[in-house]
Structure 1
Amino acid sequence: MSSKADILDAVVIGAGWAGLGVSHALAKKGLRHRLLERGRIGETWRTQRWDSFRMNTPNMQTVMPGDSYQGSDPDGVLTRDEFVALLEDFAGRNALPVQSDTPVTELAGDQHNGAYRITTTRGTLWARNVVIASGNLNCAVRPSWAAALPHSLDQIDASGYRSAADLRSGAVLVVGSGQSGAQIAEDLAEAGRSVFLATSRLGRLPRRYRGRDIMIWLVLSGILDVPRKELIQPSGKIPARALLGATQTLSLQSLSAQGVVLLGRFTGLVDRSRLAFADDAKEHVRFADEAAANVKRLIDDYIQRTQTDAPAAEPDPAETIAAQLPDPPIRSLDLAGSGITTVIWCTGFRGDFSWVRLAGLLDAQGQPMLENGLAALPGIYFAGLDFAATRKSGIILAIAEEATRLAEHIAGRTLS
């Protein structure tokens, strides 16, 4: 058992943007803490993003707590490697107590000293408070019938894709048309690969609107501040984020114009040699366009209500071209005939919290139960989770406010 002198005020698990932001806020409060990282700073960004990946927030918004953008390209977007460098610089400038190459193998409680025990591959730490900032979008989810696909097909997840050059020759089926799926399909098409895209019912956003990056308007108008409870669907699920191109407007229409074959929802196997799809690709295009139009209306209302100076609405690039859909729709796709050799699953992620050994912290699916970052157990917190409090939660825009709130709560428990 550890003595009280050895008990830290807090331990933060995960040195991505969320963990670093919380560590920064804890340091400002003068709290003794450690920041544990399984690999290197920004490990997930280093190892689970493709080579041409870019941030979806413009440079002026891609900043860490206490920082502001000082460069010459405020509307530009960082590459994967530039973002990792930003995180490393932030940790170094602020002398944050990062312990790299220190995977946490168990988080448990101790009834004797009121502290939590954090077991790592390098030893054990004790802390009154623990902030779990390892993310809930780091384990790929595939449909259950993916295992029934022929062994002749290569199957990878969005997190495993790096570039078209790394794939076996042949056509590629991308399943899922959210941000990752659509951006990967575009990357493949630009590399000259034959691409089939199994679409899904998701909204989309124009990259720019009325003279500004769309992300600027989403913040100003309060669209990103919609609380989690208003986003939850009747099924209990949170809708996926809308499709957004990293550098320009990306849509199902623009992908089809680049030669990507648009399919409906992937529903399974007809038999070992044929794949089945729903006849809903046209509906997916319509739904995405309506979602974009609705967001633009909300922004227009904000501009009018606040009398914000903004130019007139420019044409949405997606609306200037028609979606090129197979006619008749492809309901069954022969693998040999289509030349498909690789399937890339862009069907979502979940968090891996298998190392957590605290009752009442996770639900039946092994995912966190929390409200505004606070777990049911005193002294346990989550940071950086998608849609944890609002629509903004889970993106870098949220961390300054989230980190401050958690650090104040931890200081209240620790210093009182």
Structure 2
Amino acid sequence: MRSPQQMTDGGDVLDAVVIGAGWAGLGVSYWLARRGLHHSVLERGRIGETWRTQRWDSFRMNTPNVQTVMPGDYYDGPDPDGALTRDQFVTLLEDFAGRNALPIEPDTAVSELTHENGAYRLTTSRGTLWARNVIVASGSLNCPVRPVWAAALPPALRQIDASGFRSAADLPGGAVLVVGSGQSGAQIAEELADAGRAVFLATSRVGRLPRRYRGRDIMVWLLESGFLDVRREEVIRLAGHIPPRGVLGSVRTISLQALSAQGIVLLGHFTGVENGDRLSFADDLEANVRFANEASENVKRHVDDYISRTGIDAPVAEPDPAETVTMRQPNPTIGSLDLSRSDITSVVWCTGFKGDFNWIRLPGALDSAGQPAHEDGVAALPGLYFTGLDFASTRKSGIILAIAEEAPRLVEHIVGHS
């Protein structure tokens, strides 16, 4: 395997370059190798860098072990319903790359992608590479997004994003405001409460999934029943947009009512800052709780219908403590908070992510929002592909379950158009 320094202007033109050595990039590399294509995988840091540096210390996967597998692998361990920790998942990726002798180039950041003389030119921190095909696997959920009024908060207030949170011990003493009750927000709020911190949670309109239902992990049901195969277009038709993924606890169900029972103070969604030190919240807490409850019931009905339709012998549903617990609601409803009186010293922003693709200098490669323009991962520009994008094709897209189908499909497209 040649290094990037050797593949300079006038040197070899690779069949393909993969950008990113997470589960998506490694999955594509596996299939490129199987098809005998000369390629390299460029990684800005180490294998699984985003998983190493943008996940909190106690983070666990939301897919059960039986589904947390790479292409060509299967789970045969003793805990199929368990959930890998952050570090265990990184080890899984490293082991996969090593066993398959994938051509990883660590510490090789790409600063520019252009197209010249019939090939793609990649400017990297270790030289210039040329390739006939480029597969971007750097992820679409790695740049945190904060609301505009974050800048109006007092300088003394500690502000971090979900990707910067590691543990409760890293935050200054005092209460913590978590903004956003999606996947990260709910899990981080729960961890902070478990650590004995006073927590305020600004909720949002996000669905919920039960961790287990009728004898199985919910993800097993959703995969088997075809729920995860629903096309992106149908998701948009049903919801009017791509909704955030429903909250799914890694080891148990997480509900807003269960969080309130732990002592977390629930608020409506965060609407702004008044006079620099007073935070305002909408009067929509009950609506947000109701939306999450209804989403869980809809998923259960889907599973029930599938069980009935296929004649599966499944046990009856049992009450989930996280869904039956009585909610503790502020009375009266809190419409605003004074930072000093509430002793809030930290804010954890769990308000979404986007991808960073500003290094792609190819007309037509990105849409007006600076995100990939593609159809099922295939860009309009010949030889350019995207993988690992959230909701790229189906509900499954963006989670590790997708790569077993996505990687071979993209590689076959490359082979067919070479």
Q: Deviations over 1:156-175 (max 9, x none)?
A: 00000000000000000000
Cα distance in 1, alignment partners of residues 382 and 241 from structure 2? 26
| Paired letter, 1:305 | R
Cα distance in 1, alignment partners of residues 362 and 149 from structure 2? 32
- 1:375 and 2:388 correspond: no
TM-score (norm 2): 0.97
- 1:80 and 2:96 correspond: no
Shift in Å at residue 319 of structure 1? 3.0
Cα distance in 1, alignment partners of residues 385 and 307 from structure 2? 37
1:71 alignment counterpart: 77
Secondary structure of 1:232's partner? helix
Does the 8 Å CA contact 2:255/2:323 hold for their aligned counterparts?
no
Q: Deviations over 1:87-133 (max 9, x none)?
A: 000000000000000000110001x2x11001101011111100000
- 1:120 and 2:144 correspond: no
Shift in Å at residue 236 of structure 1? 6.9
1:319 alignment counterpart: 323
One of 35, 47, 60 as aligned partner of 1:29: 35
Cα distance in 2, alignment partners of residues 137 and 350 from structure 1? 5
Shift in Å at residue 316 of structure 1? 2.8
1:399 alignment counterpart: 403
Unaligned 5+ segments in structure 1 are none
Secondary structure of 1:124's partner? strand
Deviation larger for 314-323 or 10-19:
314-323
Shift in Å at residue 318 of structure 1? 3.0
Secondary structure of 1:88's partner? helix
- 1:251 and 2:269 correspond: no
- 1:16 and 2:26 correspond: no
Cα distance in 2, alignment partners of residues 371 and 349 from structure 1? 21
2:101 alignment counterpart: 95
Cα distance in 2, alignment partners of residues 191 and 2 from structure 1? 54
Does the 8 Å CA contact 1:233/1:239 hold for their aligned counterparts?
no
Deviation larger for 309-318 or 350-359:
309-318
Unaligned 5+ segments in structure 2 are 1-7
Change (3 A) 1:330 1:79: same
| Paired letter, 2:177 | L
Does the 8 Å CA contact 1:13/1:19 hold for their aligned counterparts?
yes
Does the 8 Å CA contact 1:11/1:127 hold for their aligned counterparts?
yes
| Paired letter, 2:307 | I
The percent of aligned pairs where both chains have the same amino acid is 72
1:195 alignment counterpart: 199
2:3 alignment counterpart: none
Does the 8 Å CA contact 2:113/2:362 hold for their aligned counterparts?
yes
Change (3 A) 1:165 1:233: farther
1:50 alignment counterpart: 56
- 1:140 and 2:144 correspond: yes
TM-score (norm 1): 0.97
One of 210, 214, 219 as aligned partner of 2:218: 214
Shift in Å at residue 272 of structure 1? 1.3
| Paired letter, 1:162 | R
1:328 alignment counterpart: 332
Secondary structure of 1:247's partner? coil
Shift in Å at residue 2 of structure 1? 4.7
How many residues align structurally?
Answer: 411
| Paired letter, 2:206 | L
2:389 alignment counterpart: 385
Aligned CA RMSD, in angstroms, stands at 1.2
Cα distance in 1, alignment partners of residues 160 and 112 from structure 2? 29
One of 130, 133, 157 as aligned partner of 2:134: 130
Secondary structure of 2:65's partner? coil
Q: Deviations over 1:166-208 (max 9, x none)?
A: 0000000000000100000000000000000000011100000
Shift in Å at residue 323 of structure 1? 1.4
